[in-house]
Structure 1
Amino acid sequence: MDIVIKLSQFLLSLSLLIILHELGHFIPAKLFKTRVEKFYLFFDVKYSLLKKKIGETEYGIGWLPLGGYVKISGMIDESMDKEQMALPPQPWEFRSKPAWQRLIIMLGGVTVNFILAFIIYIGMAFAYGDTYIANSDLKDGLLIENKAMQNAGFKTGDKIISIDGEKVVKFDNDINMKIVMAKQVLIERNGIQQSITMQNDFVDQLSKFEKGSLVDIRMPFAIGAVTADSKNTALQPKDIVVALNGQKIKYLDEAKTVLESNKNKTITATVLRDQKKLQVPVVVSKDGKLGVQLGGLGMASLEKLGYYKISKQEFGLLESIPVGLVKGKDQLIGYGKQLKMIFSPSTGAYKQVGGFKAIFDIFPNTWSWEVFWTITALLSIMLGVMNLLPIPALDGGHVMFLLYEIVSGKKPSDKFLENAQMVGFVLLITLLLFANGNDIYKAIVGK
């Protein structure tokens, strides 16, 4: 069932993005009276799953879920329809339209992608507001168990003050990505501020260790379940361990340190159960474990127990607009920085490029509209930026040649455009094989 939910979110998001992107080309093409021969979700190599012709356009769903397309008459595209291009230009064809109209048609897809992302962020601000923990309320610092972070010089308990000179006001999911792209991180440790310089190959270092958050909030030691072979049957689910061997325990990471130093011993644990403190004997295994599964506590429970103060902002419709625009701008700039890192070999970021499996993996096993729209908005930005790359066969390649035509007044020959399209197609296939090959390699080596 989990895989069905995950796959459903993946296909729904992908389909939505493809259809809207292609609509971005389709609508201006129709407005400029340009014939659109096909409008397809997924590719119909040799055959299609569904198709229906309405007017001059065939609408359909292909069997190969690697994207989608609109086939516009008189345009040199992936169809490489040389027979059509050999005939005299017709008034309804793309090549017969003024350059400015062709430019609008080609920019339509990425324009829709960016607009969609901003609309989603505005809608999410209105529907969900903004829930976070103020950075100033993280009195005991953050949990830092990521090995690459530890190797970079971070420790559990560090407070992050600023990233590349930008003060950290609130702790949210964006902080991890900001650290990945950072050059300097200012922290406070034991009341003393110090700056950590991030290594250029930090992204590559991340790939060598287990995946997970770079930083996270420190959590209490909550019992989720006692395993069947555990000797500590005195412990119960929902217990919160607040002391071990007479030593006060506030966070799980502190408990791990105490247990590590008391292997093969019976010690006393103080637990909070039904708002009462109880002392129970516990046996620590030779591995420094209690034989329990950890339990998760929601934000409301953490606030009730006095761990964190949860801040929530709600926005009216008009208030949501600037909030969503700022969020979209930050994500767009952030992805631009990621792309720059990928094309800088010294960072090793190219090793983390993934294909369809990598996209599939970011969707959760449980259905959450908030998470779904968050991922879809980010994918929409990624699709828009990638399509703007000046590679023939992508929208950006067509735009590049159209801008040349507008500036120089000279239109590239059809032969040149055909050759450029072929080169671009080879580049795209190479990138596709590299990205999905990375997925396969990571699956094999387990990273």
Structure 2
Amino acid sequence: METLIMVGQLLLGLSILVGVHEWGHMVAAKSFGMRVEKFSIGFPPKIWGKQIGETEYSIGAIPLGGFVKITGMIDESLDTKTLNAEPEPYEFRAKPAWQRLIVMMGGIIVNVVTGIIIFIGLAMVNGESYIPKEEVAEHGIVAYDLGEQLGFKTGDKILSINGQDYERFGDILSPDLLLGSDNYYTVLREGQEIRVDMPNDFIDKFADKRNQVRVIAPRRVYSVEEVVPGSNADDAGLQTGDRILSVNGFETIYFDQLVDILDSLKDQRVALQIARNGETIETRALVESDGTIGFLIKDELDYVIRDFTFGESLQEGTYNAFAVVWLNIKGFQKMIAGDVDVRKSLSGPIKIATFFGGTWDWNNFWRIVGLLSMVLAFMNFLPIPALDGGHVMFLTWEIVTGRKPSDRFLENAQKVGMVILLSLMAFVIINDTISLF
């Protein structure tokens, strides 16, 4: 069922993104009097189609893209049979270069607008919630394996990043920081300030799906939120609001301490020291074979929770949308510099499906769709023949120089671009498949 939900979200998300992208091309083309022969979401073979006026609207069986067929345009269909004749007034090639440029930019522009609208909507609905620096500086962090490789230790209190103050826990491993260079942290460890340097290729390790949530986490103060009826915790008399101060004399005021000590005492009866209503109570409980005793925790860290006004949502959403583009640019720079393994950085449909997750969460769905919309705009703007950016590059040359590239040149450039794109698609699909094992 989880797989079906992931696939369903992927197909719906791609349909929305491809639909609005191709709609942008079509609306721009029709507004300049160009004939649009086909509008398709998905690639052939066609599984549904309907003719409305001069345009056939269809859905293809391969849901990894879509296209708009504009008469007189050399596109991925490589249909050049009409190019030897004189152009008709309704053809793409008969229109001024600036109109053709707007048509080619139409899909990119609509994807950018879609991404901005989605991020603005998410900001309005969700506001923001984060752990402030003060909590991190007071309680410290938990360092997992990759965090320890970076140089952190559990209990470290992060004071600054690159010598500058920071606002929230998320700033410590923000995408912008991971994609930067020569970063370092100042931490307080056992009363001494220590510098922890981040290697420039750390993003390569972080990109490994096994490590993404195993770097560091805020150290959590906790209390008992709910006792499972009939559990060992219930038998021991634990109550909602209790704080477990120690287990067998080992301090457990932080949740990571409790997890570690219980995991080392499986199937044993342990002594618990509990703080309840200003009093200290002692009891005993049996630890299960999975290292638990049967209660749910309440996170006692103080979060900053904030709602955005409409104006603030406009600013926050627009910033978040364009931050995706900026991070893609920095990611390309990292790949060119050799700090990032391309195999870990490029994602195809299989990996993208896993981003949506196996449960249908509309908030997460729209967040991923908004992110993909901005990525799609960025990728399409790259100056590669067969992408919108390739057409934009040639049209810009025509506008600046006044010389239009020949149809034969454009046809051959389109073929080269198609080879590049098909090779890239094959690479990411194979790479996605290998990453599953």
Match runs of 1:276-295 below 5 Å: 279-282=282-285, 290-291=291-292, 295=296
* Greater displacement, 418-427 / 150-159: 150-159
Q: Secondary structure at the match of 2:58?
A: strand
Contact 2:287 2:293 in 1 (8 A): no
What amino acid maps onto 2:112 in structure 1? F
Compute the displacement of 1:366 (Å).
2.7
Match runs of 1:30-69 below 5 Å: 30-45=30-45, 48-69=46-67
Alpha-carbon separation, structure 2, partners of 1:277 and 1:23: 67
Count, aligned residues: 430
Contact 1:163 1:182 in 2 (8 A): no
2:94 equivalent in structure 1: 96
Contact 2:322 2:374 in 1 (8 A): no
1:245 equivalent in structure 2: 248
Q: Secondary structure at the match of 1:253?
A: helix
Compute the displacement of 1:89 (Å).
1.2
1:373 maps to 2:366: yes
Alpha-carbon separation, structure 1, partners of 2:48 and 2:38: 12
What amino acid maps onto 1:143 in structure 2? V
What amino acid maps onto 1:53 in structure 2? Q
Compute the displacement of 1:365 (Å).
2.6
What amino acid maps onto 2:185 in structure 1? L
Compute the displacement of 1:270 (Å).
3.4
* Greater displacement, 54-63 / 432-441: 432-441
Describe the superposition over 1:387-423 as per-residue Cα deviations: whole angstroms up to 9, x where unpaired: 1111110011111111111112111111111111111
Alpha-carbon separation, structure 2, partners of 1:436 and 1:224: 45
Contact 1:26 1:36 in 2 (8 A): yes
Contact 1:204 1:349 in 2 (8 A): no
What amino acid maps onto 1:185 in structure 2? Y
Q: Secondary structure at the match of 1:82?
A: coil
Contact 1:75 1:94 in 2 (8 A): yes
1:402 equivalent in structure 2: 395
* Greater displacement, 309-318 / 174-183: 174-183
Q: Secondary structure at the match of 2:358?
A: coil
* Greater displacement, 206-215 / 59-68: 206-215
Q: 2:324 aligns with which of 331, 336, 347?
A: 331
Match runs of 1:41-190 below 5 Å: 41-45=41-45, 48-138=46-136, 139-145=138-144, 147-164=145-162, 167-172=165-170, 175-183=173-181, 184-190=183-189
1:438 maps to 2:431: yes
Alpha-carbon separation, structure 2, partners of 1:277 and 1:6: 48
* Greater displacement, 52-61 / 196-205: 196-205
Describe the superposition over 1:18-71 as per-residue Cα deviations: whole angstroms up to 9, x where unpaired: 1111111111101111111111111123xx111001011000110001111111
Taking structure 1 as reference, are residues 204 and 170 closer, same or farther at Cα in structure 2, changes over 3 Å only? closer
Taking structure 1 as reference, are residues 21 and 328 closer, same or farther at Cα in structure 2, changes over 3 Å only? same
Q: TM-score, normalised by structure 1?
A: 0.86
Q: Secondary structure at the match of 2:73?
A: coil
Alpha-carbon separation, structure 2, partners of 1:11 and 1:237: 46
1:217 equivalent in structure 2: 218
| Structure 2: gaps of 5 or more residues | none
Describe the superposition over 1:88-116 as per-residue Cα deviations: whole angstroms up to 9, x where unpaired: 21111111111111111111111111111
What amino acid maps onto 2:140 in structure 1? G
Identity of aligned residues (%): 37
| Structure 1: gaps of 5 or more residues | none
Q: Secondary structure at the match of 1:86?
A: coil
Describe the superposition over 1:286-318 as per-residue Cα deviations: whole angstroms up to 9, x where unpaired: x9x6355784x5xxx43xxxx222222212222
Q: TM-score, normalised by structure 2?
A: 0.87
2:11 equivalent in structure 1: 11
Alpha-carbon separation, structure 1, partners of 2:36 and 2:261: 69
